[in-house]
Amino acid sequence: MPKAAVSFFLPHPSLRRAISAYYVVEPPEDGEAIADLMHPEWANIRLALGGIWTLGGSVSNAASPPELFGPTSRAVSIRGQGGAGLGVGILPHGWATLVDGPASDLADNVAPLAAFMGDIAASELGKLRSCPDHEARAAALDSFFLARMAARPPGDDIVGLAHAVLMKPEIATVEEFAAALGVSVRQAHRLSLRVFGFPPKLLLQRQRFLRTLAILRQNLDRPWADLIDARYYDQSHLSRDFNRFMGMPPSEYFSLRRDMLEPAAVARITSVGQAMQGLQPPSVA
């Protein structure tokens, strides 16, 4: 069956704390639709360059304004046909420095980009459709985000520290998370809602699940018992998390075609270094 062609473009080095990558997903040229299931991730800006794109309850085409998808704690279905879709991955530092309002306001939801970044942002990103190619779009995005970042207050260093702590498998409880940041549990909770969108307990569970999912996807021929995160009690514990985060049992998920995420993982590892945006560590750039 045909799969998507996926390309990733790294942002300017000065933007890599804020933006994971720019990416373009192109359905087959024969017009056949592609579909997949997006795992939980950080926020993304998305714009249909052509065709019709459906992501969760949002439907867009080449006349639709750009949209901001908040951080997610559950899988979202995606379908594309007839034209490319463009995206910008927004890391937690990027939310804190580029976006107006707490991430919890858009967690597991979507809104017009203008509602969180203003009309000028929506207008400038809408102009990307007229660029001659994807390289020109990446350059235009760099120009826009560099200017926006320069005009706004710098982010707090604790955001990058909190992001780095979330990436550590040994941090398993809210108390450990707060202690690693040197703040109270209540302060850690407020920070998490503001820049990550969710309470620390849910974030730690999500990261544990994503780490295991990434390993399982790359080792489908090996016994699960050899691969699952040490923080899982057993395979039934992992199965409960599959239903919580993906909305289905593992057997059903691994029978899916993965029209987009399979080629995206390969391209993302080559270009960015991680198969999943949710597992990308904070940049030190």
In a domain, 88, yes or no: yes
Tens digit of each residue's pLDDT (9 = 90 or more) over 225-267: 666 766 766 778 888 999 999 999 988 998 888 889 889 988 9
Tens digit of each residue's pLDDT (9 = 90 or more) over 198-218: 999 999 999 989 988 888 877
In a domain, 42, yes or no: yes
Co-location of 216 and 147 in the same domain: no
Residue 73 tokens read as 């704690």
In a domain, 15, yes or no: yes
Co-location of 32 and 148 in the same domain: yes
d(CA 253, CA 178): 33
Q: What is the CATH number of the domain that holds 54?
A: 2.60.120.10
pLDDT > 70 in the chain, percent: 94
- Residue 116 neighbours by CB under 8 Å, 6+ apart: 68, 99, 100, 101, 105, 106
Co-location of 166 and 120 in the same domain: no
- 172 pLDDT more than 70: yes
pLDDT score recorded for residue 237: 83
pLDDT, mean over the chain = 92
Co-location of 102 and 194 in the same domain: no
Co-location of 91 and 193 in the same domain: no
In a domain, 87, yes or no: yes
The model's confidence at residue 104, banded by pLDDT at 50, 70 and 90, is very high
Co-location of 144 and 244 in the same domain: no
DSSP structure string for the chain: ----EEEEEPPPGGGTTTEEEEEEEE--TT---EEEEEPS-SEEEEEESSSEEEETTEEEETTSPPEEEPP-SS-EEEEEESS-EEEEEE-HHHHHHHSSS-GGGGTT-EEEHHHHH-HHHHHHHHGGGGSSSHHHHHHHHHHHHHHHHHTSPPPPHHHHHHHHHHT-TT--SHHHHHHHHTS-HHHHHHHHHHHTSS-HHHHHHHHHHHHHHHHHHH-TTS-GGGTS-TT--SHHHHHHHHHHHHSS-HHHHTTS--TTHHHHHHHHHHHTS-S-GGGPPPP--
Tens digit of each residue's pLDDT (9 = 90 or more) over 54-96: 999 899 999 999 999 999 999 999 999 999 999 999 999 999 9
d(CA 176, CA 29): 50
Neighbours of 149 (CB within 10 A): 20
In a domain, 258, yes or no: no
- 285 pLDDT more than 60: no
Number of domains in the chain: 2
In a domain, 31, yes or no: yes
Co-location of 127 and 185 in the same domain: no
In a domain, 285, yes or no: no
- 220 pLDDT more than 70: no
Q: What is the CATH number of the domain that holds 238?
A: 1.10.10.60
Burial (CB count <10 Å: 0-12, 13-18, 19+), residue 161:
middle
Residue 207 region, left (φ>0) first, then alpha (ψ -120 to 50), else beta? alpha
Co-location of 67 and 116 in the same domain: yes
Co-location of 241 and 165 in the same domain: yes
Do β-strands 58-61 and 34-38 pair in parallel, antiparallel, or remain unpaired? unpaired
Q: 26: domain range?
A: 5-153+263-279
Co-location of 10 and 129 in the same domain: yes
In a domain, 207, yes or no: yes
Co-location of 133 and 14 in the same domain: yes
Task: Give the pLDDT mean for 121-150.
Answer: 97
pLDDT score recorded for residue 229: 64
Q: Decide if 55 contacts 19 (C-beta within 8 A).
A: no
Task: Give the pLDDT mean for 36-61.
Answer: 96
pLDDT score recorded for residue 217: 79
- 24 pLDDT more than 60: yes
Co-location of 145 and 275 in the same domain: yes
